[in-house]
Structure 1
Amino acid sequence: MDADVIIVGAGPTGLMLAGELRLGGAHVVVVERLEQPTGQSRGLGFTARAMEVFEQRGLLPWFGDLEKAPMGHFGGVQFDYTVLQDAHFGARGVPQSHTEDVLERWAISLEADIRRGWEFLELDEKGDHVEITVATPQGVQRLTAAYLVGCGGGSSPVRRAAGFSFPGTDATRTMYLADVAGCDLRPRFLGERLPGGMVMAAPLGDGVDRIIVVPDVEPGRERERSVSFTEVADAWQDITGEDISAGTAHWVSSFTDATRQVTEYRRGRILLAGDAAHVHLPAGGQGLSTGVQDAANLGWKLAAEVRGRAPIGLLDTYHSERHAAGARLLMNTHAQGMLFVGGPEMSPLRELMGELIQYDDVKRHLSGLVSGLDVRYDVGEGTHPLLGRRLPPRTLTGAEGPVTTMELLHPGRGVLLDLADDPALREAAAPWQDRVTTVTVRPQDTEPVLTATTALLVRPDGYIAWATGTTPDAAELRTALHRWFGEAGDSTSGSTA
């Protein structure tokens, strides 16, 4: 075959998935219709959880200086996200084009095969592989792989060709977006509601403003609809009375409040990730960030599958875990859309939300929901507070000095944290050392949850699959290792102390 996995789409989700698959040892081909990146950026940042995903692969320094924003909003109602430990609204001012550049360079450094100017046309799923037809600069070609993943955005051609069901709510209004120079606009960071609609404006630097226009009278249209700057300028003037037609648009786009999610993230050998699996109103960088998390969840599982190491049912957990996370994404963005772009009839609800959000419990709930920090997977029985949650970013101390939990995840392997210096624990994990790195460390005294923990088994995506605060039970550990990493191997490499 041409690859273990073919990915259609070289956006953030597809590129993140390519890197994750390569870390897991899979041969990857990415096909992308565009010959060059557009340089356009709907998104201007990502959430706190996406930052952690990038950090666990050592990618944050690739972005340069990042500004963490403690203040964010829910549907335009501003509040402080740092009420929740480790939470913040995310990284601001990072164009999606920059994120894509970082992820593409990372994927290429891992020897992912990215083929630009290759447009997906059709697919044919066989019993043991998938064949796709692509249009290339050299003509129509066929590619084969064990699995195909559609990462081609909200209009995913793979989703349509494979016949995935994509239920949800239709668009009720169309919204315009443009980056405009030479207008000297008054900032409207959280939007301004006026008779006729809502407008937003935020300076991007160098005299360029990002504007969004939401006319009350504009019906919902197709997501792919092209739009001219004249239309955007006319809509802006209709709502604000300001004439921006003399400005220069770097680019313009439109989007809608359509909300949809596929009923299944996997159909046989075809899978979907990112906007190909779920579309929604853009709110707080959640679309890009959720796609990146889809990729981190899927990558190690699919790599294990194609390498013949995956236990039965592992690949199915991609749907069970990420479909639930996607459903919460759609719920909160739909609610934010009602608050954010709704007309005067939503004013009482906005006023009530402004009162409720003053309570710390409400802030904690909403910040965890929007940042993704509240995600908890069902990984099996157990009562430990960290079970099913993501390993928090902390500094630990080992024989060779301090090490962060994020650094331990850089190679994309499983990690067993031996926090009690237990030889029996290390012996029980030894047969899985070709996939799981065992590290004997101790936490700082200021971390009560970790100081009360004796051992943690962490999946390659950073989520905790097994945890104990008592003397570790070797049989329980072996059961967890088998469930998430397959049959024991015979490698003797991978342990550190």
Structure 2
Amino acid sequence: MGGMTAQVVIAGAGPTGLMLACELRLAGVDVLVLERDAERADAESRAGGMHARTLEVLDQRGMVEPFLRAGRPLPGGHFSALPLDFRNLPTRHPHLLVLLQRHIERLLEEHATRLGVRLWRGAEVTGLRQSGSGVEVEVLGGGPQGNGRHGEAGQRWMSAEYLVGCDGGRSAVRRLAGIGFAGTSATLTAMLGDVELDAPPEHPLFQERREHGTISVLSFEPGWHRVMTTEFDQVAGRDEPVTLEGLRRACLKIAGTDYGMRSPRWLSRFGDAARQAVEYRSGRVLLAGDAAHVHFPAGGQGLNLGVQDAVNLGWKLALVVHGHAPDSLLDSYHAERHPVGARVLENTRAQTALSRVDGHTTALRATLADLLSLDDVNARLSSMITALDVHYPMDGAHLDDRAHPSDGAHPGNGARARGGTLLGQRRHLMDGGHPVESAHLVESALPDADTLSEVGTLSGQEADSEDGGRSADGGHPLVGYRVPDVELEIDTGEVRVFELLHQARGVLLCLDGGAQEGPAAHLAGIASEWADRVDLVRARPSADVWQGPVVGAVRPPVALLVRPDGHIAWATGARPDLDGARAALTTWFGPARR
């Protein structure tokens, strides 16, 4: 293979590809992003929001503020249009941030440009060849001219150490790599239109279930609305044209009005097919985002799932490219993220089933709505939708575990949630003898964002053991979960945990307050062997209790190893487990430097 075009080539400049490029470039990897479209789609925005865990991973990199300024926070979300209250989730971002995908992509691209990411637009991946030392990628069009913004004619081959397909549900990379895409076919037809309305519904976030389907009318920005219809038990042909008249007919059939729709900005049609790549890695080719999983857009999880794929993969790939960690570390990407993706596919299937308009489903929805008045039920579903409850096994044994849905592996990944409250309301109406459920999403059931209390305060009862409680496998209960973003006191002042992750390095955090005989004194020698990849930080916690969405209130560990993605890989109590620390450092950051 000839000289390298880039260490890593990414196909696709959507949110997943751009976030992955930022992660890799931050770690010093030479990365090239290839985007098939010659221009960024400013009129098209498939996704419309960011959940708490996605905001947290942006916060971990010090890049969340532009997104918060551009978006609008709502204090809850929904599960199949049944309101969820996010306000009591243990996070600094207990809300859904309403922000259209085109703005998300613009902000990510601006950040990627500042980091020095190369982006070629008008560049389509048409072929690939793998070898033991790299991958060759055939590209049609694209090039560095015009700052990489416009494609040029011709085909070329370029080489890289790794190729990552972030090129959407019809991924060319997935097809060329021969990776299967297993799942279930569509059972319904949904239409979406960003249109102007002369007679919109009174409420800005409106959804109704009626005899012939469901309809949503959402006000994202002044001057236009997003209208979405769903008709069950009918699947449109792929080649059937998508027109304003078709959307109008669906609205009239379901709602009895077209709300005076006109001037479409963007029209789309989709179904509820739910499919997932059989493997997220095939040699030197990896998949992330919609290239790895597609599902019905229920609960607004898709974009968030892809961005979190990128944050899980980026630091691992950087360690391998730089020669710090063995290639087998990349197997943990599939082992950790495939179950998370499978769980999203399962919960979106459940949400589409709950959206059906027959009497039995209406009764089931009423039962679930009653259950959601219980704090634990609301917290469990809220933690799942926001991905705050994601847990990864940290013993290293899963690195070679390629569990797939067909193997009978449970998609829940052991995730649980508890805590929280629900203030949701529902109305059951009768319309011509047919049951109608009207759910004014989120804002009708919850107070305005201005009334939200400040988040980040930790509460609860202290655990009895000196190690802060034990998980089922004998470790600290927080191991495997994302680290709480608590305030710490260090020699130079106060710092949040997430601020320690801004450079996407590992953090060995010792909470002994700098005691002469504390754990840091024992761990300093070990930490020095990984100093090129992991920072040793000595601090004093400002709170005696840490709060997690699953584990509840626990005493913080005395020392912990935090991975660059924010998940806790190892933790110990007053007696430092030096062998455990060394094993965790080796597992997740490669052998100690010589």
Q: TM-score range by the shorter chain?
A: over 0.9
1:92 aligned partner? 97
Aligned partner of 1:445 in structure 2 is 543
How many residues matched? 489
For 2:240 and 2:374, the matched residues in 1 are separated by 41
Q: Tell me which residue corresponds to 2:41.
A: 38
1:219 aligns with 2:311: no
2:290 matched to 1:192?
Answer: no
Q: Which amino acid aligns with 1:261?
A: Q
* Greater mean alpha carbon deviation, residues 415-424 or residues 297-306: 415-424
Which letter does structure 1 place at the counterpart of 2:490? G
Query: What's the CA shift for 1:344?
Result: 4.2
The corresponding residue for 2:418 is none
Alignment of 1:469 with 2:573, yes or no, is: yes
Give the secondary-structure state (helix, strand or coil) at the position aligned to 1:249. strand
Confirm or deny that 1:383 pairs with 2:387: no
Aligned in 2, Cα 1:429/1:243: closer, same or farther, shift over 3 Å? Answer: closer
In the TM superposition, 1:137-216 aligns within 5 A as 137-186=152-201, 187=203, 189=205, 191-216=207-232
Aligned residue in 2 for 1:407: 499
Aligned mates of 2:217, 2:497 — CA distance in 1: 39
Does structure 2 conserve the Cα–Cα contact (< 8 Å) formed by 1:274 and 1:288? Answer: yes
Q: What is the match of residue 494 of structure 1?
A: none
CA distance in 1, matches of 2:32, 2:521: 42
Is residue 106 from structure 1 mapped to residue 111 from structure 2 by the alignment? yes
In the TM superposition, residue 426 of structure 1 has moved relative to its aligned partner by 1.7
- Are residues 164 and 87 of structure 1, via their aligned partners in 2, closer, same or farther at CA, if it must alter by over 3 Å? farther
Q: Give SS of 1:82's match.
A: coil
Unaligned segments of structure 2, at least 5 residues: 142-151, 396-472, 515-519, 547-552
Report the Cα offset of residue 80 of structure 1.
1.4
* TM-score of the two chains, using structure 1 as the length reference: 0.94
- Kindly indicate whether residue 23 of structure 2 is the aligned counterpart of residue 20 of structure 1: yes
Aligned to 2:531: 433
Cα contact 1:32–1:116 (8 A) shared by 2? yes
Give the partner amino acid of 2:62: G
Cα-to-partner distance string for 1:164-216 (whole Å, 9 max, x where unaligned): 11111100111011111143310373520122111000122322111101123
- Which of 43, 48, 54 lines up with 1:50 in the alignment? 54
Please point out which of 108, 125, 128 is paired with 1:123: 128
1:316 counterpart SS class: helix
Deviates more, 1:296-305 or 1:227-236: 227-236
Instruction: Give the whole-Å Cα distance in 2 for the aligned partners of 1:250 and 1:267.
Output: 39
Partner of residue 398, structure 2: none
- Cα separation, partners in 2 of 1:87 and 1:184, compared to 1, 3 Å: farther
- 1-structure distance, mates of 2:320, 2:269: 39
1:322-401 aligned at under 5 Å gives the runs 322-341=337-356, 343-380=358-395, 382-401=474-493
* Structure 2 counterpart SS, 1:432: coil
Q: 1:159 to 1:279 in 2, by over 3 A?
A: same
Distance change in 2, residues 1:442/1:200 (3 Å): same
| AA partner of residue 500 (structure 2) | L
Task: Give the whole-Å Cα distance in 1 for the aligned partners of 2:242 and 2:391.
Answer: 40
Distance between the aligned counterparts of 1:266 and 1:26, measured in 2?
Answer: 19
State the alpha-carbon separation in 1 of the partners of residues 5 and 381 from structure 2: 45
Q: Which residue of 2 aligns with 1:299?
A: 314
- Alignment correspondent of 1:493: none
> CA offset at residue 450 of structure 1?
7.2
| TM-score between the two structures when normalised by the length of structure 2 | 0.79
Q: Report sequence identity in percent.
A: 44
Question: Structure 2 vs 1, CA of residues 226 and 409 (structure 1 numbering), >3 Å: closer, same or farther?
Answer: farther
Q: CA deviation at 1:56?
A: 0.6
CA contact (8 A) 1:46 1:284 kept: no
Shift of 1:87: 8.1
User: Structure 2: how far apart are the matches of 1:274 and 1:283?
Assistant: 16
Hey, what does 1:70 align to over in structure 2? 75
**Of 229, 248, 252, which aligns to 2:244?**
229
Structure 2: how far apart are the matches of 1:99 and 1:470? 43
CA distance in 1, matches of 2:554, 2:536: 16
Q: Which moved more, 1:138-147 or 1:449-458?
A: 449-458
- Give, in whole Å, the separation in 2 of the partners of 1:447 and 1:97: 40
C-alpha distance after superposition, 1:64-97 (max 9, x if no partner): 4243322221111113123442287643320101
1:457 maps to a residue whose letter is L
Deviates more, 1:448-457 or 1:429-438: 448-457
Q: How does 1:2-17 map to 2 (within 5 A)?
A: 2-17=5-20
Name the CA distance, whole Å, in 2 between partners of 1:16 and 1:124.
25
Partner AA of 2:509 in structure 1: L
